[in-house]
C-alpha cells in the first residue's frame, strides 16, 4: 500500500522529487536531508516518507525506522564533523515549536558556548549544504569514516596536547615543511590544499606565497587543532586561507579544482593510502602538483628512537605496528610510497632523502626537552597507554639521561630522517 501523501506538504513533495532538497540518504520508510535553514553547521533532518502530522499519528514501525536512521546519521555527523556535542530533538504541535506538520527528527551538531535555538530563519549557503550532504552520505555509505580511529585519536587523545605544544612542535619540524614547500615552487594565484594542516602554520605560509590572488584550504581531522589554526590565520592577517574539518581520504573535493596538494607529515595516517591519493589526484587539475614530507624509519630518527628506548626501561612498549599500518612510519619505505602514488594515477614521482638536525622541544633546558617528549612522540604514547602516573618520574629520569649527550647551548639537537616526495597529475586528460 502506498504511503500517505499530502499535496500541500513540502516534505511530501521532497519525498516525491517535486521539490528540491540536499538529500543525504533514503530508504523504504525514511529520508534524510540537510535543514534548508540550519541553526548550526551540519543541521540534519530525518523525515518519514509517508505523511504523518506528528509522532502520535505515525505507526510504531515507522518511528522505529526513523530512530534507526537517526543513529546512523548521528555516527556520520560525529565522524565527519567531530562536533563537541549533538542535539537530537523532535517537536509535536505548534505549541511545542513544530513548523512543518510532517513527522521529522532534528540532529543538530553543537559547539561549546553556542546559544540554544530550535529554528533559524535564514537559508543556508546552497553550496555548503550540498557539500555536507555529500560528506554525510559518503560516511553513511561506509557506516563510518575509514579513518574513524584516527579521528578519535586526533580529537580526544593527541589533538589538545598538540595545541598546547604548538609553538614548540612547529619550531621543531618547520624546516622540513619548508624544504617540501620550496620544492613545489608555489607562485601567486595558485589554489592549494594543505592536507593534515594541524595548527595551521603551513597553511599560513602557503597563503603568503600564493597571494595576492591565490587561496589555500587547510583540512584536518582534529577539531582542536583547526580552532588553533583559525586563530593563527586571523592573528597573521593573511588573506585567502580557510580551514575545514575533513577526512582527505573521502572528502568530495571539487574535481580538477586545485593547482597543488601539499602536506607536512599529514599523509601517513590514511587507512587506505591508495584511495586517499586517488581522491587527492582527482582534485588536482591536469598537470597539478603534489608534494609532501614524511618520516623515514624510526632507526633513522634518533630524536624519537632514543627517548623511546629510554622509556622502555620502565614501560612495556606496544608491539611495533605492521609496516603499512597508519602511523608516523607508514610511508618509511620509498618503494611502497612510489607504488602507492603510481597506482593512484600520479606520475613523475620523485623521492629525495632529507637529513636535518632538529631542535627538540625548543632551544631551552634539558628538562624542557624531556617534558616535551613526555607529551609528544612514541615514548609519550606508550606512557599514556600505561595509564600509571607513578611511572612518569622514572620515565622522565631515563629520558633525561639519554638526552644529556645531545644537549648544548642551542638546546637538545638530534638527527632526523625524512623523505621529500613530489609527483603530479598527468597533463594529458586521457591519462588516469
| CATH number of the domain residue 95 falls in | 3.30.428.10
Q: What is the pLDDT of residue 27?
A: 78
In the predicted model, what is the mean pLDDT of residues 221-227? 87
pLDDT of residue 134: 86
pLDDT at 430 over 70: no
Q: What is the CATH number of the domain that holds 269?
A: 3.40.50.150
Q: In the chain, what percentage of residues exceed pLDDT 70?
A: 97
Q: What is the pLDDT of residue 49?
A: 93
Q: Cell 561549546: give the residue.
A: 112
Write the CB contacts of 403 (distance below 8 Å, at least 6 apart in sequence): 306, 307, 360, 366, 369, 370, 373, 412, 414
Is the per-residue pLDDT at 113 higher than 70?
yes
Q: What's residue 145's pLDDT?
A: 64
| pLDDT the model gives residue 74 | 94
Do 177 and 272 fall into the same domain? yes
Q: Do both 205 and 252 map to the same domain?
A: yes
- In a domain, residue 290? The reply is yes
pLDDT above 70 for 378: yes
Say yes or no: 106 and 251 in one domain.
no
Report, as an integer, the average pLDDT of 373-397. Answer: 87
Total number of domains constituting the chain: 2
Q: For residue range 286-297, what is the model confidence (pLDDT) as tens digits?
A: 999 999 999 999
Residues 133 and 257 occupy one common structural domain: no
What is the average pLDDT score of the chain? 92
End of a domain among 144, 176, 194? 144
User: Quick check: 431 pLDDT over 90?
Assistant: no
Q: What is the pLDDT of residues 138-159, one digit of tens each?
A: 787 655 567 878 887 887 778 8
Residue 19 and residue 158 share a domain: no
Is 396 inside any structural domain?
yes
Catalytic site residues? 104
Judge whether 228 lies within some domain.
yes
* Same domain as 163, residue 133: no
Residue 47 CA to residue 11 CA, distance in Å, equals 8
144, 160, 188: which is the final residue of a domain? 144
Same domain flag for 66 and 159: no
CA distance 271 to 19: 38
Q: What is the pLDDT of residues 58-112, one digit of tens each?
A: 999 999 999 999 998 998 998 888 898 999 999 999 999 999 999 999 999 998 8
Position 142 scores a pLDDT of 54
Quick one: 122 exposed, middle or buried, by C-beta within 10 A (0-12, 13-18, 19+)? exposed
Please report whether residue 430 resides in a domain.
no
Q: How far apart are CA 39 and CA 114, in angstroms?
A: 10
Is residue 4 domain-resident? Answer: no
Domain of residue 54, residue span: 10-144
Residue 134 in grid coordinates: 555529500
Amino acid at each position: 500500500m502506498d504511503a500517505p501523501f499530502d499535496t500541500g506538504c513540502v516534505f511530501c513533495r521532497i519525498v516525491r522529487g517535486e521539490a528540491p532538497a540536499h538529500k543525504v540518504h533514503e530508504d523504504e520508510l525514511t529520508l534524510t536531508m540537510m535543514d534548508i535553514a540550519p541553526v548550526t553547521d551540519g543541521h540534519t533532518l530525518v523525515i518519514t516518507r509517508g505523511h504523518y502530522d506528528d509522532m502520535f499519528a505515525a505507526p510504531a514501525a515507522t518511528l522505529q525506522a526513523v530512530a534507526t536512521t537517526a543513529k546512523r546519521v548521528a555516527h556520520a555527523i560525529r565522524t565527519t564533523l567531530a562536533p563537541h556535542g549533538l542535539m537530537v530533538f523532535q517537536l509535536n504541535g505548534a505549541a511545542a515549536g513544530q513548523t512543518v506538520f510532517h513527522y521529522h527528527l532534528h540532529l543538530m551538531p553543537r559547539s561549546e558556548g553556542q546559544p540554544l535555538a530550535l529554528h533559524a530563519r535564514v537559508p543556508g549557503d546552497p553550496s555548503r549544504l550540498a557539500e555536507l550532504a555529500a560528506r554525510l552520505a559518503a560516511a553513511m555509505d561506509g557506516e563510518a569514516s575509514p579513518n574513524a580511529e584516527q579521528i578519535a585519536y586526533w580529537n580526544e587523545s593527541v589533538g589538545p596536547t598538540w595545541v598546547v605544544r604548538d609553538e614548540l612542535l612547529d619550531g621543531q619540524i618547520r624546516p622540513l615543511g619548508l624544504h617540501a614547500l620550496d620544492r613545489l615552487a608555489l607562485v601567486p594565484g595558485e589554489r592549494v590544499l594543505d592536507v593534515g594542516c594541524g595548527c595551521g602554520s603551513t597553511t599560513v605560509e602557503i597563503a603568503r606565497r600564493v597571494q595576492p590572488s591565490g587561496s589555500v584550504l587547510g583540512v584536518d581531522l582534529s577539531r582542536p587543532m583547526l580552532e588553533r589554526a583559525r586563530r593563527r590565520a586571523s592573528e597573521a592577517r593573511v588573506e585567502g586561507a580557510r580551514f575545514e574539518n575533513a577526512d582527505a581520504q573521502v572528502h568530495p573535493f571539487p574535481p580538477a579544482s586545485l593547482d597543488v596538494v601539499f602536506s607536512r607529515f599529514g599523509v601517513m595516517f590514511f587507512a587506505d593510502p591508495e584511495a586517499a591519493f586517488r581522491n587527492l589526484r582527482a582534485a588536482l587539475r591536469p598537470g597539478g602538483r603534489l608534494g609532501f614530507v614524511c618520516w623515514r624509519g624510526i632507526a633513522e630518527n634518533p630524536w624519537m628512537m632514543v627517548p623511546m628506548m629510554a622509556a622502555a626501561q620502565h614501560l612495556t612498549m606496544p608491539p611495533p605496528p605492521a609496516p603499512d599500518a597508519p602511523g608516523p612510519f607508514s610511508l618509511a619505505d620509498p618503494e611502497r610510497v612510489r607504488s602507492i602514488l603510481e597506482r593512484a594515477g600520479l606520475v613523475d614521482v620523485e623521492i629525495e632523502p632529507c637529513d636535518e638536525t632538529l631542535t627538540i622541544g625548543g632551544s631551552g633546558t634539558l628538562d624542557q626537552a624531556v617534558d616535551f617528549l613526555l607529551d609528544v612522540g612514541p615514548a609519550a604514547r606508550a606512557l599514556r597507554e600505561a595509564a600509571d602516573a607513578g611511572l612518569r618520574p622514572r620515565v622522565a629520569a631515563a629520558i633525561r639521561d639519554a638526552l644529556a649527550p645531545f644537549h648544548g647551548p642551542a638546546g637538545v639537537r638530534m638527527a632526523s630522517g625524512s623523505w621529500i616526495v613530489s609527483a603530479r597529475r598527468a597533463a594529458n586528460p586521457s591519462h588516469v
